Every structure is written in C-alpha cells, then in structure tokens.
Amino acid sequence: MDRRTFLKLAGIGSLSFAAGCSDPEKTIYSLVKAPDDMVTGQAKWYATTCRECPAGCGVLVKNREGRVIKIEGNPLHPINKGKVCIRGQAALQGVYNPGRLKSPILKTENGLQNISFSDAENLLSEKFSIAKISGSGRIKMMTEVVSRPLYQIFDHIMTTYGADAPTVFEPFAYESLKTANEMVFGIDGLFSYKMEQSDFLISFGADFLDTWLSPVEYTIKFKEMHGVRNGKKGRFVHISPSQTLTAANADTWIPCNIDDETIVALGLIREMIVWGKGETLDKSLLGNLQSIADPYTIQKVSEQTGISERLISGISESLVKSRHPLVLGSGNSFNGERSLETCIASNLLNLLLNPDLSQLDFNERYRVETAARRSEIYNFFNEVSEDKTNLLLLNNVNPVFTLPKQSGVQKALKNKSVFVVCFSNFMDETSAKADMVIPVAMPLESWDVYESTSKVITTLQPAMKPLYGDPQIGDLLIRSSFKDVTETEFYKTEVIRSLVKKGSISTELQWLNMVRNGGLYNVPENKASFSKKLSKKIFDVLLLDRKETTIPLSLAIMPSVRFFDGRGANRPWLSEIPDPLTKVVWQAPVLMHPETVKRNNLKHGDMTAIETDNGLVEAIVYETAGIKENVLGISMRRDHTIDGQFIEDKEDSIFSLLSANIENLSGGPISHARVISIKKAKSSEPLAHTDGSRLQHDRKIAMAMPFSQYSNSQDHKKTHGGSGLSMHEFPLTLPIPEGYDAHRDIYPSHEHENYRWAMVVDLDRCVGCAACMGACYAENNIGIAGKRQIINGREMSWVRVERYLDPEDNKKVIFLPMMCQHCDAAPCESVCPVYAPHHSKEGLNNQIYNRCIGTRFCSQNCPYKVRRFNWFGWKWPYPLNLQLNPDVTARSKGVMEKCSFCIQRIKEAHTTAKREKRKIKDGEVIPACAQTCPSDVFTFGNLMDPESRVSKLVSDKRAYQVMGYLNTKPAVIYLKKILNEI
C-alpha cells in the first residue's frame, strides 16, 4: 500500500468512525417561519389561569421558543397574588404528559382505533343528529367546573336538543357546607372568608392548606393571620380525625373520631352562650340554640370525644378572649353522617361570635359552588342507565374513578345503547370505558375565562399552540352540534360577546387589557343578601336523633395535597415530591395510629389488605400519631407508571372502598367506610420514603421558640449571638467578613465583589406544602428518579422540606426547607480533588458539572446532605423533555448537582443591570422557590447591601443557622418558628 492510499483509507476510516459515534438526534432545525414575537433565547410570558383545581389562580406562563416551560403566579391576581401551589407547578406535566392522547380514539370491534380530529368531529355531529332524530332529551352531558360562557354554550346545545342542562361534577362539591350556608345564612353557595382579619381560627376539618376551596388563597391569608408580624400572631386550632397538612400547621391539633367534630362544635356553642355571646341574636333563636346545645357540657364533650376538658375549656376561653375569631366547617374531607351538623354548628358559632359576620364575605363566591350535589350525580347516572339516552358527553371528568362502585356509573357506561364521548386528554378509568375519546386543547393552550370568584373573572389564553393540534372543546362543540343549524363560530368570540353582554367589558380594547392583566379583578359585585333569620330546619337537623353507632374502625379516604382527588397522579413531579407529612413518594400508605398497628399485630412498613363493606385494598402501613386511633386514612391515590402512563389493570380504585350512601339532607357523599378486616397481605413492597429519622435528636436543626419568649423579650439585640462553639450555644456567623473570628477561623473570609447572595428562611411562615419543591423541579430540570430508585435512596430534589416531630409529642410538627446552604466555609469545596464545587466571587457555591468527575466526596462531607448525584442519566420521555428549561443544563450521569440559588436568574439580572448600567436591586433576583412560595418563607438578596431585606432580617432575634456549631457559615439563615399553643 502506498502512502497516499494509506492516508485515504485512514482518513475515511477515522471519519466514518467519528460519524458512527455521533448522536443523530443532535440535529438542530431552524424555525423556518418563526412567530412574530419570538426571539430565540428570550422568554415570553403569557397571563392565563391555572385549571388544575376549581380555585382558578392566575398564572404567568413562561414560553421559550414556542414551548411553555414554567408556571408562575400572576402577581396582579387577587386570588393567588403571584403564588402557585405544587399542583399548579405540575400543570406543565399535564401538557407534556407522555400519556397524553395524540388523536381521538374510537372504540371499535377490533379494539381501540386512532382516528383523526375531523373524523371524530364528523362522528360526533352524526351522533348529535341521531340523538335528535330519536327524540328530545336523548343527550346527557356531565362536565367539570367550567366558566360561565362555556357552560352557557353547553347549556345552549343541550336546550337545542331538548335535553337537560349539563351536570357539573366535582368530587369535592362541599354539599354539607353549601347546605349549612343555605340553612344559616340563606346562601346556597360557597363564599369566601376573610381569614387574614381573624386572630383566632378554629377549623373543623377544613383543610384550607391542602385542597379546601382555594388553597393558595388561604395559605396566603392564613400566614397573614398566623405568621408573626409586629409582635402579634394569631392562633389556630384544628379538629379533625387525621393530621393533614393544615392540621400540622395548627398551634393545636386535636384528633377526634369521624363526626365527633359536631360534638365539639356544639359544646363550644354551649360555652359561648354561657359566656354571654350572641346577645344580639333573636331571643327565640338563642333559646332554641341553648336548648339544643345544653346537653353538650364540657364534661360530656370530653367523655364522648376523648378530648381533655382542659383543652376544650382552653379553646373556649381563647375564643371568648379573641376579638375576631373565625370558625370553618369542612365539606370536602372526612365527610360523615354529621358533616352537615358540623358545618351548621360552625356557621352558628360565627354568628354567635361575630354578629356582624365581618369575616364572611358573602359577595365573593367560589365557582366550585356550581358543582352538583353527589345525590344529583348518582341520579344522573341512574337516568343514563334507564335507556333514555343515546349520547353521553363527559367533559374532563373521571367518575369511574372518583365514584364508588355502587354509584351506577359503571353500569351506565356499559349500557350498549349509549354512545359515550369523553373529552379527555388522557386514558383514564372513564375514557377507557368510553366509545370515543376526543382530546381537546388543555387550559394552557386555550382561550377562555374563568370566574374564580364572583369578584374575579380571570382569562385564559393559549400560552402555546396545542401540542398535538387538539381543538378547543368550545369550538369543537359549536362546530359539531350546530353543523346544520347556525354558522360556525369561534368560542373565543362567544366569550367576548358574553362578557360584553354581562357588562364586564364594553370594547375590544378592554378585552385586550383584560387578557394582558390576566383577568378582570374588580367585577362589580351584586350585593348578596343574607338573612339572619335562621332557617328552622337547622334545629331539626341538630336535633335529629342519631343512632349511636360506634364503628370500631373506619377507613377514611382523604383528599391529597398533591393529587387533589387523584387527578394529578399522572404528573411525575407530584408523585416524586414526597407527601408533606409522611414523606412517602409514589405510594399512598394507610395511616395508622401506633395503637391500631399494635392491636392488629402489624408493624410499620407491612403490606396490609384492608377490607371494607365495599371492597378490598392493599396498602403499606404507615405508623403515625397523626391519626385518631379508630381511624385509618388513605389519601386519594391513583396508580400510574413513572412516565405518566395510565395503568389499566387496576380495576378497583381507592374510591371503590366507599359506599354510595349519601347524607340525605345535604346530598353529600360519605367519605369513610367501616373496616371489616385488616390482614397482613401476601405481597410486600418497601415503603418509598425520603426521610430518615422523624426526630431531630436535639441537633438544633429546625428550631422554635415560644411566643411568650418572643414577645416578652425586650432585648432587641441579637439573642442568638452566643459566644460558645458548643452544640448548645453558638453564634450566628454570617458569611461576610464580620462573621469571621480569628479565634475560631484558620482561614480569612472569602472576598466578594458587590454581592454576597444569601437567603433567609422563615420557619414561622413555612407550612410545608412543597410548592417550592415543585417550582425547583420545573426550573432546574431535576431528574425524576421513580419509586424504585427512591427506595434505593436516590431522590434528586435540590430543596426538600424536612419534617420533624416533637420528641415529647409526636403530634407536633415542624417543617424546614433545606437546600444548599452556600456556606462560606463549605466542607464540600475543600475535599473535591478537581475544584468542581467552587466558591464564586458572589458567594455562591457553584457546582461545575463539566469539571465534576463524580468522586462524591462533596456529598459525603456535606453536613446538610443537600448534594444530589446523578446515579443514572435520567430520562425525560417525550414530550416531557420539551419542558426542560433551556437556561439550565440537564445534567448527565456521573456528576453531582445541587441548589444553585437559581444562578440563571442571577445571571439574567446581571445582564439587565449591566445593560442599564446599575447594580442589581434588592428583590430583583427571586429564585424559583421563593417566587412560588404562597406563604413567603424565602427572602433572597445581597448580604453586602445593608439596606437589603436579608440584611435586615438577619438581625431578627429569631435568626440562626442550622447546626451553626459546625462553623460552616451558611448563607441560608433561618428564623425560628414561634410556638403559640393553647
């Protein structure tokens, strides 16, 4: 071979070798025709509305290169004031869910068949025509809670075909609360509470931080009332069978049996009357009330509920002393036979305590009040079964999952003569049984409005094009149902027209303004009239002779702070982020009191088979003092694969354990069932939890101080400035030159240029809701490890909410968000052989992914254990990868990662500041966690600026650093929680 041939062959060989190794998917296509307002690398924000639950929070959606990548709250929006909960954050994973249907599906004899959107539309209009020919009223429709214009379209269609108005189905329809409101205030609906004005709050199972009415709104209001401000702090007592997130945030949580809330409430009514409250009330009413409440003496209440007399009298005393007490009834969790009574009693207590009812805002009504009562839902399906229907339309509801087996829904859907059309983006329990499933544009891709409350009309606009070109349901129905009737019209036009008709807006320009702001926030209110004349019925209800049936053990199906009624279960983040209280991921264990566990010869972590009157479920035992002894609790769970795919073979949902019984007066469901047996199951699975010990072993991690100590101490100097370096007395050592002490430090402090970023975390404000974690997952492209890997201990969260129990009373909980502390004397930095953890000139502890070789020494040496290693190359199954934030690297396997204080946001602020030739202003950089936190736990800023908020907050006497005795000089400074027990 001559030299030339050799060179040729070698050249070809090496080139083909190089080409063979390259990854073909790395091809970049340019956007041939870019949208007008799209600038590559620059985000667009669209104001729209979160529709993950009926609350209707305003959100800003970040769009990068045509893809929505992050959801943040709309600061202008009066409901959520710029904050979003964990479910809202995860709405993106609905849009990008791998299980999302790409085209309509028709059930044929040969199984499921994908059809085109136009075929589906034609088939639908054909079905409409057939229904029309068969006679009037042959169509039935059930929908989720929708906006008024959309409901009007539905209604109009139904009227045209001579059918009944569409039924609005929402698993949490607050029947008992609605009925109680009607009976006591004459308002058949759900109004808002001015919780922020109250100084003493009693909740009878109202989980307003979890799922109740409008969780973000009430988290904000709750912390306004309960967070320490100007030396004042409200008190909160929660009475419920299980320690929900809301209960865990109460100053005093009182466990009681299901339905025993009523007894406590009546006892309090008696006490209040004894204390002379309610004198302004009508005398005969008061007399009636007195006679009803009279048997409920403190002794009797204590006897019946097992709550100590001291506690009850303590509460009633505090109630009397407080100036603005507020009492909440629930309506969505632990619904029992006496829920209505509890709600009535709560309303009566409000009436007794605040005769002017200043904290109840009757004018602000929640949209979810349009939901039909459970009794009506059951009737609906019974009618469908009765062969009077040809076409059944289900809009984004999943009754097969959320209704008990005996409800008749399965029978109705099996009825051969009914053609069932599901408008749903996913294969779920209901769409799997439908004849045709038509995916429609999701809320983030649609035009609409939504009446979050009667004062707020919030707009929805497409933040991106529908991923698979799905039509909007409004457009689709207008087209298919009115095919031969009227001209085709767009739903968006209809929305504007309806707003104009209602007088909300008058011109097109106003509509544009409304869209830009995300809604109309000053809707002229119709003064709701409420009558103080109580309906006589309440006395009938309260005097109703209840059979004293003591259920030895009942199983309660509880709303989930992560999955709501189970609808969020296919969003991987929601399964991956642990439940705030159990810290369990990907599983829904059964909560059991230690006594109950012992009595049934079980132990923590055992798989049990629990049988109720209606069904059988297998769940892992989670031993906790956070539940009443005679109650078992399972949250509303749903099984999904790791990439959001629906698992069809699970025939029995968690709701099939319940009976289809309803509470007659309110028409509400019963959300618990009698347990027949608990046995150890044959199968077993380890509990996938992210916590180690539930106690903090006196290590000064999550610290608290009693309110008395906080308010009495006149000394406003730093009480934390201890001089010692022992575990019990240690100083606050700020990561700035002042924090350095020649006696303790070998090395001098780092020198920083202009900025030393730091964060203050106020434990008194943290409710543990994990919204920060959701925001962090979305912002920072954090991998989803899945159940198996979390059992192996490989969760990837950069910020975690640590939950610690009081060793003396396991019912007391303290939450602590833990993320990289960006220490000035960072143990991780010195041990890395290759300088991958690097101290930046602005004080950040940067992790240089490219430099990391994966020795994991940094993680081993981190006392806070906040570093996360990429054990694998984590997968984002298509299209979840479209959500990845282009500003943040998606890390590959073998490197360490951790909280970066959202350095991409700091960099962006630097760019802006540099362009404007100024320094970064305080509050200009807000990390994702701080941005979304509904209770404003996090404050981020520059410690070198004495005027910054963080600099001011660190002089608070509550300031401390986690395990400050290690002298790592963390840049995350915590403020102690303030305890204010009764």
Partner 1 sequence: MAELTAAQIDNTVLDTLAAPSKTYWGIVGLLGVGVMIGLMCWGYQIVVGIGVGGQNNPVAWGTYLINFVFWVGIAHSGTLISAILYLFRAGWRNPIARAAETMTVFAVCTAGLFPLIHVGRVWVVYYMLPYPNQRTLWPNFQSPLVFDVVAISTYLTVSAMFWYTGMLPDLAIIRDRATGNRKKIFSILCLGWSGRLEQWRHYTRIYLFFAALATPLVISVHSVVSWDFALGVIPGWHSTVFAPYFVAGAIHSGLAMVVTLMIPLRKLFKYEKIITMGVLENVAKTIVFTGLIVGYAYGVEYFLAWYSGNSVEQESFMWRAVGEYKIEFWIMVICNSIVPLLFFIKKIRTSIPWLLIICIMVNIGMWYERFVIIAGSVAHDFIPHAWGYYAPTLTEFGIMLGAFCLFFFLFILFVKHMPSISMTEMKEHLHAGGNDAG
Binding site for partner 1 (CB under 8 A): 691-699, 701, 726-727, 789, 792-795, 800, 802-804, 818, 827, 830-835, 851-857, 859-861, 863-865, 867-873, 893-896, 963, 966
Tokens matching residue 76: 């202008």
Cβ proximity to partner 1, 348 vs 577, nearer residue: 577
Minimum CB separation from partner 1 for residue 854, in Å? Answer: 2
Cβ proximity to partner 1, 372 vs 772, nearer residue: 772
Cβ proximity to partner 1, 332 vs 821, nearer residue: 821
Cβ proximity to partner 1, 543 vs 695, nearer residue: 695
Cβ proximity to partner 1, 440 vs 785, nearer residue: 785
Q: Which residues contact 704 (CB under 8 A, 6 or more apart)?
A: 763, 814, 976, 977, 978, 979
Cβ proximity to partner 1, 56 vs 735, nearer residue: 735
Minimum CB separation from partner 1 for residue 846, in Å? Answer: 14
Reading across the β-sheet that carries 456-460, which strands appear in turn? 448-453, 456-460, 519-520
What distance in Å separates the CA atoms of residue 736 and residue 803, rounded to the nearest whole number? 30
Cβ proximity to partner 1, 214 vs 821, nearer residue: 821
- Alpha carbon 797 to its chain centroid, in Å, reads 17
Tell me the three state secondary structure of residue 968.
Answer: coil
Give the C-alpha distances (Å, rounded to integers) separating 98 from 124, 232, 445, 875: 26, 49, 17, 12
Minimum CB separation from partner 1 for residue 792, in Å? Answer: 5
Tokens matching residue 619: 């769940």
Cβ proximity to partner 1, 492 vs 868, nearer residue: 868
What distance in Å separates the CA atoms of residue 83 and residue 925, rounded to the nearest whole number? 16
What distance in Å separates the CA atoms of residue 216 and residue 65, rounded to the nearest whole number? 30
What distance in Å separates the CA atoms of residue 950 and residue 945, rounded to the nearest whole number? 9
Contact assessment for residue 253 and residue 639, using Cβ atoms and an 8 Å cutoff: no
Q: Quick one: which of 292, 351, 365, 354 has its CA closest to 79? A: 365
Minimum CB separation from partner 1 for residue 896, in Å? Answer: 8
- Alpha carbon 393 to its chain centroid, in Å, reads 28
Contact assessment for residue 203 and residue 412, using Cβ atoms and an 8 Å cutoff: no
Cβ proximity to partner 1, 1 vs 18, nearer residue: 18
Sort residue 137 into left (φ over 0), alpha (ψ -120 to 50) or beta: left
Please count the CA atoms within 13 angstroms of the CA of 13 that sit on its side-chain side: 6
Cβ proximity to partner 1, 297 vs 855, nearer residue: 855
Tokens matching residue 134: 């068969």
Minimum CB separation from partner 1 for residue 839, in Å? Answer: 12
DSSP for residue 407: G
Cβ proximity to partner 1, 962 vs 975, nearer residue: 962
Minimum CB separation from partner 1 for residue 607, in Å? Answer: 20
Cβ proximity to partner 1, 803 vs 905, nearer residue: 803
Minimum CB separation from partner 1 for residue 580, in Å? Answer: 13
Minimum CB separation from partner 1 for residue 837, in Å? Answer: 10
Contact assessment for residue 643 and residue 678, using Cβ atoms and an 8 Å cutoff: no
Minimum CB separation from partner 1 for residue 748, in Å? Answer: 15
What distance in Å separates the CA atoms of residue 583 and residue 689, rounded to the nearest whole number? 5
The phi and psi torsions of 611 (rounded to 5 degrees) equal -115, 130
Cβ proximity to partner 1, 227 vs 783, nearer residue: 783
| Residue 711 exposed, middle or buried by CB count within 10 Å (0-12, 13-18, 19+) | middle
Minimum CB separation from partner 1 for residue 754, in Å? Answer: 25
Q: Quick one: which of 460, 441, 465, 439 has its CA closest to 450? A: 460
Reading across the β-sheet that carries 436-438, which strands appear in turn? 111-114, 105-108, 436-438, 419-423, 391-395, 139-143, 167-168
Length of the chain: 982
Minimum CB separation from partner 1 for residue 725, in Å? Answer: 11
Minimum CB separation from partner 1 for residue 739, in Å? Answer: 18
Q: Which helix (H) or strand (E) holds 609?
A: strand 607-612
Minimum CB separation from partner 1 for residue 662, in Å? Answer: 42
Cβ proximity to partner 1, 44 vs 851, nearer residue: 851
What distance in Å separates the CA atoms of residue 768 and residue 49, rounded to the nearest whole number? 24
Cβ proximity to partner 1, 423 vs 798, nearer residue: 798
What distance in Å separates the CA atoms of residue 669 and residue 654, rounded to the nearest whole number? 15
Minimum CB separation from partner 1 for residue 803, in Å? Answer: 7
Q: What DSSP string describes 438-467?
A: E----GGG--EEEEEETTEEEEE--SS--T
Minimum CB separation from partner 1 for residue 820, in Å? Answer: 13
Q: Count of CB atoms within 10 A of residue 33's CB?
A: 4
Minimum CB separation from partner 1 for residue 968, in Å? Answer: 8
The phi and psi torsions of 401 (rounded to 5 degrees) equal -80, -50
Cβ proximity to partner 1, 15 vs 853, nearer residue: 853
Q: Quick one: which of 976, 938, 937 has its CA closest to 958? A: 976
Question: Which residue has tokens 């011109």?
Answer: 507
